[in-house]
Structure 1
Amino acid sequence: MRATAADGFDATRWVPLRYLNFFRLIIAGFFLVAGLELNLGSDAPKVFNGAALAYVGAVLALGFPDAARRFGIDRLISLQVIIDIVLLTLIMWASGGYRSGMPVLMMVILAGAGLVAQGRMVLFYAALATVAVLAENVWRYFSGGTPGDFLQVGIVCIGFFGIAITAHLLALRARTNESLAVSRGEALATQQAVNERIIRDMQDGVLVLGADGIVRQANPRAAELLGVYQLEGLRLADLDEEFADVHGLCGGPEGSLRRLGPAGKLLRCRALGALDDDANETGHGAGGETLIYLTDFEEIQTHVQQLKLAALGRLTASMAHEIRNPLSAVTQAAELLTEEKRGEVQTRLIRIINDNARRIERMIRDVLALGRREEALPEALPLASFVSSLIDEFALASGAEREIYCADIPHEATFAIDRAHLHQILDNLIGNARRYCSGKPGSVRVFVSAEGIGRIALHVLDDGPGIVESERGRVFEPFFTTHPKGTGLGLYIARELAEANGASLELRDNAPGAHFVLTGRSQP
């Protein structure tokens, strides 16, 4: 509807007018070639041939786009319809009147004009055709016609107006629908562009997975979170085996938290039906496609960790100031008591004082270390030798103690992590496993497993009583402990150090004992 150029040429109206011109050309050529053989122009053959030849010339002269640009499409339509009516009236006069069938062709011309013309010009064309046919019939009446012809001619003239008005109303309806479709199409295109921009720039990864497991569409954030350059056309299960069962992995309204893809980021994965709003419960779309949302939980945890460390920093400052002063007095008093050599009761009290003083000192040291956590310097550490040397430290007492630990780690296995951090993490995990295990040979097991492309998992298990279900969600909370002499910071610090190296520490099911898994990259 907006295709009208400055010179008056309207491309949307030219298309139907072109088909009408093609019809005119066929009719004019038919008159010129076979009109006389079909008994047309019997009353005046020369007039008929002249009119047919003029009709062909008019169609050829006015049937091309340059004529529309020269006259303007509205003037061209009016000129063509007037020529049609005049020449068809001459042919009708030369062929014996309205019985020659020319009024029917006029109806076709008026119907076509009603589709392409605008305003009240359609009524003008119908009126012009009516006047022309009535004038021809009046001339024929005075030349020996009958009054009954006027009834049939009148019915034909009424048909002129009916067909012209009906065609015009249909054209108006079609143009209104076309204009509505164009406006809605523009609104839809704008909305689609906005949606694409939102999806492209949103912080969550979004991808559409086909029923065959191949990614149909994905925004750049999804590829970034999974650690690949492009996702379209890839089989998702080839990136990470966890995606082999997408609906088991990402099912449910809350989804699940996993480390996925070559990047190994901690992601929240949710799967919904992409094509059916009622498929949210099953995750299946109407076309077998699945819409997957990936949320970077590491950023969320980092923000939470920053808030936590800020509060913890204030706590450490207050603890260091409030505890160390009385701690010095306690330790000094304990030393003075040992010099006086009093009775057994005093010796027992001294031991209690020293034990609690050391416990307070250890707690302060752990909290201060947590508050000023140093930047990690990861390197590819050979796990077999590292774990073996750490176990040797635990088994210095006797050879029997060494048999409690069972390490099954390939010599080529490496873990990308800071050396001091790994030592502190494993010291806590293996120490806890030794504390709660049965003490039988092989009751503490350490082994590794592959966790996708470029990732490795270090497992520490024991055969002890395990962790009760009510306490499993709190094992990594600061200051939570079930050991009477523990500070409750060991596992919490171990997980913080793991995350500082881009790794994760989690507790898995392993009835009846405990099963901790440290997962990270095999290379820096």
Structure 2
Amino acid sequence: MTQRRILSPEARVALWRSLQTFTLTRIVIALVLLLYFGVDFENGALRITQQVAQICLGYAIMALVFSFAARHQRRFLVQLGVQVALDLLVISLLYLAAGGLRSGLGILYLFPLAGAAILAPLLLALFAAAVATLFLLGLSAWQLVEGFDPPLMQAGLFGAAFFAAVLVANRMAARLLGQEELAAQRGADLRIQQAINEIVIADVGDGILVVGADGAVFTGNPAARRMLGLQADTSGFLLHAAPAFEPLAEAFDAWLAAPENDTAFVTVKPYREGDGAGDVRGRRDQPVHVKLRFARVAAPADVVGEAVGEAGERSVIFMQDVSAIENQAQQLKLASMGRLTASIAHEVRNPLSAIGHATALLAEDLHGPAEVRLLKIVGDNVARVNRMVEDILQLSRKAQPNGEPVPLGPFLEQLKAEFCEIHGLAGDIVYIGDPGGSAVRFDPLHLHEVLLNLLNNAVRYASRQPASIRIFPARDAAGRRELHVQDDGPGITPEVRDHLFEPFYTTSSKGTGLGLYLARELCLNNDAKLDYEYRFDPSALGPRKASGRFVITFALA
């Protein structure tokens, strides 16, 4: 029964290994019997008979033959049956030679019977126990007929013990083999599941990094290597030791401090090996905007262990390339917008001009409050549609930028004065950081339009307190100059950030949804990059220590 239930190769190997152990034990028993029958330990003399010596030596030789045959692993039940039969025969011969039940050799029957109970089906093991019991009872009955006084009760107790030992050993062996079969099946299922997970993780589009509590990277999938520009071996470095991955490390530290905030957006800037990458082997030629999501690996205490400590904790960072999604959305909208641009001048601007002119003529004759309010609504919407038309037409004009360097100090001061005058703001509302006499390669008209667009967005949400709008330069890990535009208003939510630079997307009832898109296009036209980033500032308020800002990354000089 036990042998027929075993299906897995691991369980079959375990049975053959047990049979080999069984044969080796038989050799030891044969040597012990030689010592038992051959040496008189009280007088120190040999007292073995030729018959007993032949039986023991033959038993040892057959044990060697059985050990050699078991290595070939063929016909398990046949080999086991022959071995058990030989054991019963040899023990019975020795039992007769030693004088029967009073010699105490009846206990030797437990050795082959236990082996049969463990390795053979229950029916075969019970048959062997029945043979041994019948032999003991038959011999006792024969001695009784011959006029001797045999211990019949002792023979019966030996028989009962044989059956009890066979039943108990067989049940225990069946349970152990069942557990081993189950463990083997679970192991096979686990290996299959692991192979499936490896295929899925390797083929999934999102990046996956496994990191420790100290920021050590243990492994990552191919998508993570592509996003970060890493070479084939992802493991073996610290996020904090690579300046290029500083935004990623800061976001991870912020999540550890506040686990309820498990989403963040960071920008990985271009870097080269040895240039802002620390010991990391890799490079990136273009910036990538990444959406991060963090998850902690819940490992039981008995798996991690107290000796491992916090270094044994594992966390998973899921990375999604938001830049690719943004570009795809923009391409879809630009495909339809390109067909609209060709006819928009004549189809929209001419009727729009007529509506605006008629509104101006009506304003000269109508002076009632209701009429003035209605005319103002018409005029405002005409101006809004006209501004949208101008923005759309400007998108099709890819003017060649002026490559002359622009000194940031005088340029920003002039822009600040113009902006404050337009909006009627006090001069201390806009704070400009020290540019340090630096200059950037950017068309001044384009830079003026980009910054004016960003400042118009900032003044809409800022508190208008002193320094509530900030413009300050900085440098990234690769040494590229950046210009940050930030206000003290509420930050942009991740949901809005996903669509921030898409054309025609706006959260304001008065906006056209083209301002930020146009600003980014002008930056790209000047080999620069405009993005909204979450920078982690230890002096900022809130658990995330993060503050959103628009960042212009200029091209290298």
**C-alpha separation in 2, matches of 1:162 and 1:236:** 65
Which of 229, 246, 250 is the aligned partner of 1:241? 246
**Is residue 408–residue 437 contact of structure 2 (8 Å, CA) maintained in 1?**
no
Flag the 1:517–1:423 CA change in 2: closer, same or farther, 3 A.
Answer: same
Query: What is the CA RMSD across the aligned residues, in angstroms?
Result: 5.3
Aligned to 1:132: 135
Q: Which structure 2 residues correspond to residues 50-61 of structure 1 after superposition, within 5 A?
A: 50-61=54-65
**C-alpha separation in 1, matches of 2:210 and 2:83:** 56
Which of 187, 190, 193 is the aligned partner of 1:191? 193
Deviations, residues 82-141 of structure 1 (Å, cap 9, x unaligned): 111111111111112223232212112210121112352112211221233233334444
Flag the 1:503–1:330 CA change in 2: closer, same or farther, 3 A.
Answer: closer
**Is residue 266–residue 291 contact of structure 2 (8 Å, CA) maintained in 1?**
yes
Aligned to 1:257: 265
SS at match of 1:63: helix
Distance apart, 1:297 and its partner CA: 1.4
AA at the equivalent of 2:294? A
**Is residue 407–residue 439 contact of structure 2 (8 Å, CA) maintained in 1?**
no
Which of 473, 476, 499 is the aligned partner of 1:451? 476
**C-alpha separation in 1, matches of 2:156 and 2:512:** 110
**C-alpha separation in 1, matches of 2:173 and 2:227:** 54
Aligned to 2:303: none
AA at the equivalent of 1:518? V
Aligned to 1:207: 209
**Is residue 215–residue 235 contact of structure 1 (8 Å, CA) maintained in 2?**
yes
**C-alpha separation in 1, matches of 2:254 and 2:416:** 43
Deviations, residues 354-374 of structure 1 (Å, cap 9, x unaligned): x9999977653321233x475
AA at the equivalent of 2:26? R
**Is residue 40–residue 47 contact of structure 2 (8 Å, CA) maintained in 1?**
no
SS at match of 1:232: coil
Deviations, residues 29-52 of structure 1 (Å, cap 9, x unaligned): 122244222589x99823212211
Aligned to 2:3: none
**C-alpha separation in 2, matches of 1:192 and 1:443:** 53
Q: Where do 5+ consecutive residues of structure 2 fail to align?
A: 1-5, 271-283, 301-308, 362-379, 419-429, 542-547
Aligned to 1:160: 162
Distance apart, 1:190 and its partner CA: 1.0
AA at the equivalent of 1:272? A
Aligned to 1:518: 551
SS at match of 2:237: coil
Aligned to 2:322: 297
**Is residue 485–residue 550 contact of structure 2 (8 Å, CA) maintained in 1?**
yes
**C-alpha separation in 2, matches of 1:358 and 1:22:** 100
**C-alpha separation in 1, matches of 2:469 and 2:173:** 86
Greater relative contact order, per chain length (Cα 8 Å cut-off, separation 6+): 2
Flag the 1:180–1:261 CA change in 2: closer, same or farther, 3 A.
Answer: farther
SS at match of 2:39: helix
**C-alpha separation in 2, matches of 1:321 and 1:447:** 43
**Is residue 23–residue 63 contact of structure 2 (8 Å, CA) maintained in 1?**
yes
Distance apart, 1:458 and its partner CA: 1.2
**Is residue 446–residue 458 contact of structure 1 (8 Å, CA) maintained in 2?**
yes
Flag the 1:56–1:469 CA change in 2: closer, same or farther, 3 A.
Answer: closer
Flag the 1:315–1:469 CA change in 2: closer, same or farther, 3 A.
Answer: farther
Q: Which moved more, 1:58-67 or 1:355-364?
A: 355-364
Deviations, residues 27-76 of structure 1 (Å, cap 9, x unaligned): 10122244222589x99823212211111111112222467557x22111
Aligned to 1:340: none
Distance apart, 1:479 and its partner CA: 7.6
**Is residue 480–residue 489 contact of structure 1 (8 Å, CA) maintained in 2?**
no
Q: Which structure 2 residues correspond to residues 387-406 of structure 1 after superposition, within 5 A?
A: 387=408
Distance apart, 1:271 and its partner CA: 1.7
2:537 paired with 1:504: no
AA at the equivalent of 2:252? V
Which of 14, 17, 20 is the aligned partner of 1:15? 17
Flag the 1:276–1:309 CA change in 2: closer, same or farther, 3 A.
Answer: farther
SS at match of 1:64: helix
AA at the equivalent of 2:254? G
Distance apart, 1:253 and its partner CA: 5.2
AA at the equivalent of 2:138? A
Which of 114, 119, 128 is the aligned partner of 1:116? 119
AA at the equivalent of 1:241? E
**C-alpha separation in 2, matches of 1:435 and 1:366:** 20
Aligned to 1:351: none
**C-alpha separation in 2, matches of 1:395 and 1:160:** 103
**Is residue 265–residue 533 contact of structure 2 (8 Å, CA) maintained in 1?**
no
2:313 paired with 1:288: yes
Distance apart, 1:299 and its partner CA: 2.1
**C-alpha separation in 1, matches of 2:509 and 2:214:** 49
2:59 paired with 1:95: no
Q: Which structure 2 residues correspond to residues 57-96 of structure 1 after superposition, within 5 A?
A: 57-65=61-69, 69=73, 72-96=75-99
Q: Which moved more, 1:303-312 or 1:155-164?
A: 303-312
**C-alpha separation in 1, matches of 2:82 and 2:460:** 105
AA at the equivalent of 1:73? F
SS at match of 2:94: helix
2:419 paired with 1:368: no
AA at the equivalent of 1:369? Q
Aligned to 2:293: 270
Deviations, residues 482-514 of structure 1 (Å, cap 9, x unaligned): 99xx97744441134447855415699999xxx
Aligned to 1:29: 31
Distance apart, 1:146 and its partner CA: 1.0
Which of 98, 106, 120 is the aligned partner of 2:109? 106
**C-alpha separation in 1, matches of 2:311 and 2:235:** 21
**Is residue 92–residue 98 contact of structure 1 (8 Å, CA) maintained in 2?**
yes
**Is residue 479–residue 488 contact of structure 1 (8 Å, CA) maintained in 2?**
yes
Flag the 1:185–1:60 CA change in 2: closer, same or farther, 3 A.
Answer: same
Aligned to 2:331: 306
Deviations, residues 253-308 of structure 1 (Å, cap 9, x unaligned): 5512221365542111122221169xxxxxx9995322221122112222332344
**C-alpha separation in 2, matches of 1:187 and 1:104:** 44
Distance apart, 1:393 and its partner CA: 8.6
TM-score by length of 1: 0.72
Larger Rg: 1
Q: Which moved more, 1:219-228 or 1:361-370?
A: 361-370
Distance apart, 1:227 and its partner CA: 2.5
**C-alpha separation in 2, matches of 1:469 and 1:448:** 22
Deviations, residues 196-233 of structure 1 (Å, cap 9, x unaligned): 22122212222222122211222221222223224312
2:73 paired with 1:46: no
Flag the 1:457–1:31 CA change in 2: closer, same or farther, 3 A.
Answer: same
Flag the 1:319–1:38 CA change in 2: closer, same or farther, 3 A.
Answer: farther
**Is residue 227–residue 261 contact of structure 1 (8 Å, CA) maintained in 2?**
no
SS at match of 1:212: coil
